[in-house]
Amino acid sequence: MIHFIGGGQMAEAIIRAVLANKTARKEEITVADISEQRNTYLTKNYQVSANVEQSAALKQADIIVIGVRPQDDLASVGTLICEHSRKEAVVVSIVAGVTIEKLTNFIGEDRAIARVIPNTLTDTGLGYSGVSLNKYAREEQVDRFLSGFGKVMYVEERLIDIFTGFGVAGPNYVYYFIESFADAGVLAGLPRQQSWEIALENVQGAVEMLRQTGKHPRQLLDINNSAGGVGINALHELNNSDFAAGLQRSVLKAVKRTTELGQE
């Protein structure tokens, strides 16, 4: 059984994905949110058991997902888990910025804990969630569940903020690139719809090309850029801009902000 403490936006996205991927059946999922309205909504839309007593659901759970916000009463959540759950159950926290050490203080020693930074591409099956395990947790306990909403990358906890600012924020950089690229087509004179379709197809095709050939981007650029041609002229202009360094500064800023938020 998988029990969610807190059934907000992220918990809902995870539930929707694991049900769609058949990683879990609706009978295996319980949810207890503070809000009755939220519980009713989840029961109605996903047919999971979201009108359960926290204590009863915790007794049955093999996986306990903490899906509340960092500013919510985590100490009470920890006490509940401590008092009612089985020692063998693994606690999966998706609470941003809350370290395994803090979670241990709330839940108690000797408990299996997985700290997860869920990716936000849950409905696609793509994108990595970052996972750090404490010494009592094993990959086999969480792997199947976590694979239900994307791919899983196990990382040392010291790398979690980097993983967040670079990896989990990753789609944002790509969304912005696609928008800027489609705008470039419009600026040059193509209709918006055609620019948009070309931009999407190019991004997907370029990723596929890299995967299929196993080549480095520079090798593919060398093939595409003939002497004095279109490609090398375009690249020269891009090199003159702040493109690479700007993107890299943006990632570093996101990592720094992740750390700041965790310390607040």
Ligand X SMILES: NC(=O)c1ccc[n+]([C@@H]2O[C@H](COP(=O)([O-])OP(=O)(O)OC[C@H]3O[C@@H](n4cnc5c(N)ncnc54)[C@H](OP(=O)(O)O)[C@@H]3O)[C@@H](O)[C@H]2O)c1
Q: Which residues sit in the known binding site for NADP(+)?
A: 5-10
Does residue 72 belong to the site contacting ligand X (CB under 6 A)? yes
CB atoms within 10 A of CB 193: 10
Q: C-alpha 202: how far from its chain's center?
A: 24
Is residue 126 within 8 Å of 153, Cβ to Cβ? no
Binding map of ligand X across residues 9-28, x = CB under 6 A, - = no contact: xxx-----------------
Is residue 162 within 8 Å of 254, Cβ to Cβ? no
In the bound state with ligand X, the residue whose beta carbon lies nearer, of 223 and 261, is 261
Q: Using CB under 6 A, which of the segments 45-53, 92-100, 237-245, 247-255 binds ligand X?
A: 92-100
In the bound state with ligand X, the residue whose beta carbon lies nearer, of 199 and 254, is 254
How many residues touch ligand X (CB under 6 A)? 25
In the bound state with ligand X, the residue whose beta carbon lies nearer, of 9 and 263, is 9
| Position among 3, 17, 67, 89 found at the interface with ligand X (CB under 6 A) | 67
The letter for the amino acid at 143 is: D
Distance of alpha carbon 6 from alpha carbon 39, whole angstroms = 9
In the bound state with ligand X, the residue whose beta carbon lies nearer, of 72 and 197, is 72
- Residue numbers in the known binding site are 5-10
Q: Using CB under 6 A, which of the segments 4-12, 40-48, 141-149, 191-199 binds ligand X?
A: 4-12
Does residue 96 belong to the site contacting ligand X (CB under 6 A)? yes
At its nearest, how many Å lie between ligand X and the CB of residue 31? 9
Dihedral over alpha carbons 120, 101, 3, 24 (to 10 degrees): 50
Is residue 83 within 8 Å of 107, Cβ to Cβ? no
H, E, C per residue of 177-191: HHHHHHHHHHHHCCC
Does residue 94 belong to the site contacting ligand X (CB under 6 A)? yes
| Position among 57, 68, 90, 160 found at the interface with ligand X (CB under 6 A) | 68
Q: Using CB under 6 A, which of the segments 14-22, 42-50, 71-79, 241-249 binds ligand X?
A: 71-79
At its nearest, how many Å lie between ligand X and the CB of residue 208? 27
Query: At residue 217, what are phi and psi to the nearest 5 degrees?
Result: -50, -35
Distance of alpha carbon 46 from alpha carbon 176, whole angstroms = 33
Distance of alpha carbon 30 from alpha carbon 42, whole angstroms = 10
Does residue 5 belong to the site contacting ligand X (CB under 6 A)? yes
Is residue 89 within 8 Å of 62, Cβ to Cβ? yes
Residues near ligand X, by CB under 6 A? 5-11, 32-35, 38, 67-70, 72-73, 76-77, 94-96, 118, 120
